[in-house]
Amino acid sequence: MEEKSRVLVVGGTGYIGRRIVKASLEQGHPTYILQRPEIGLDIDKLQILLSFKKQGAILVQGSFSDIQSLVDAVKLVDVVICTISGVHFRSHNILLQLRLVEAIKAAGNVKRFLPSEFGMDPARMQHAMEPGRVSFDEKMEVRKAIEEANIPFTCVSANCFAGYFAGNLCQMGRLTPPTDKVFIYGDGNVKAIFVDEEDVGTYTIKTMDDPRTLNKTVYLMPPENILTQRQLVETWENLAGKKLEKVMVPQEDFLAPMKVGMNYAEQVGVGHFFHIFYDGCLTNFKVGGEEDDALEASKLYPEVRYTRMHEYLKPYA
């Protein structure tokens, strides 16, 4: 039988990183995880690492403050997946990947690198508003470094993680569905795309050594999960057996708080929600058109039974 490619996950205890590690183990890849000394007394991270080790993962010591340790780590594998945190309310470290790019270049053995993207396609967000645009600008800076170093890559555009966007019916500042009234962005008829985080892991591992996705962006756009906010709310109402009061929020009202002292992370969030739910940035283009070399995951991997939102939302009821 053909040998499965070996993969190193950098950021393997993180929100999306741990789903990617899980998928890699499930799909039978020799799975390496960077163990950073900086996690120190973070017992939850250590426990996650130990539980992956029990399931067969190999923990590799290394630190972003020691390039040689990164070189040594990437030399062990065929594929490197980075899931370091982007700009949001947890932390913000995308540009640290420039060191990883340097290490991969120096090591010279890596057949594919998947940088930390997993959201909106930064290449399509040149018009994005401040300060949220910094997340796209930084991801583009990392892409540029990857291409300049001639490293084979795949970018995964994962659209809306359902935990941040569906479980809360797209409401900011909360992660559970509202019980009485729901804010509807604009007319609520702009299409967004919701993806179960476990499916992000599954598709990412499928794509990491697929020759069709070499040096391309893969979009996760499971067709039944392309929904307007109103459709998502209706899905929830059917599950909960209760109608919610809809409060329409015109674009000006949604953006107004930006001007009157809102913290940085919230401003980033407002910008992102604006582009998704008013601009329609996730669905206003065609994937796989001739002038664009992109690919859509549910077409590439039709065998994956992705989670529909009526299924995803059940535990919230």
- Least separation in angstroms between CB 173 and ligand GO6: 4
Per-residue contact string for residues 147-186; x = within reach of ligand GO6 by CB under 6 A: ------------xx---x---x---xx-x-----------
HEC assignment per residue over the chain: CCCCCCEEEECCCCCCHHHHHHHHHHCCCCEEEEECHHHCCCHHHHHHHHHHHHCCCEEEECCCCCHHHHHHHHCCCCEEEECCCCCCCCCCCHHHHHHHHHHHHHHCCCCEEECCCCCCCHHHCCCCCCCCHHHHHHHHHHHHHHHHCCCCEEEEECCEEHHHHCCCCCCCCCCCCCCCEEEEECCCCCEEEEECHHHHHHHHHHHCCCHHHCCEEEECCCHHHEEEHHHHHHHHHHHHCCCCEEEEECHHHHHHHHCCCCCHHHHHHHHHHHHHHHHCCCCCCCCCCCCCCCEEHHHHCCCCCCCCHHHHCHHHC
- Least separation in angstroms between CB 130 and ligand NDP: 17
Based on the shown chain and the rule CB under 6 A, indicate whether residue 204 belongs to the binding site for ligand GO6. no
Based on the shown chain and the rule CB under 6 A, indicate whether residue 17 belongs to the binding site for ligand NDP. yes
Based on the shown chain and the rule CB under 6 A, indicate whether residue 272 belongs to the binding site for ligand GO6. yes
Would you please indicate which residues are annotated as catalytic (active-site) residues? 139
- Least separation in angstroms between CB 54 and ligand GO6: 29
Per-residue contact string for residues 83-112; x = within reach of ligand NDP by CB under 6 A: xxxx-x-xx-x--x----------------
Look at residue 268 and give the partner it binds from ligand NDP, ligand GO6, none, a contact being a CB closer than 5 to 8 Å depending on partner kind. ligand GO6
Based on the shown chain and the rule CB under 6 A, indicate whether residue 45 belongs to the binding site for ligand NDP. yes
| Interacting positions 145-204 with ligand NDP (CB under 6 A) | 158, 160-161, 164
Q: Is the CB of 216 or the CB of 246 nearer to ligand NDP?
A: 216
Binding site for ligand GO6 (CB under 6 A): 86, 88-89, 119-120, 135, 159-160, 164, 168, 172-173, 175, 268-269, 272
Binding site for ligand NDP (CB under 6 A): 11-17, 34, 36, 39, 45, 64, 83-86, 88, 90-91, 93, 96, 116-119, 158, 160-161, 164
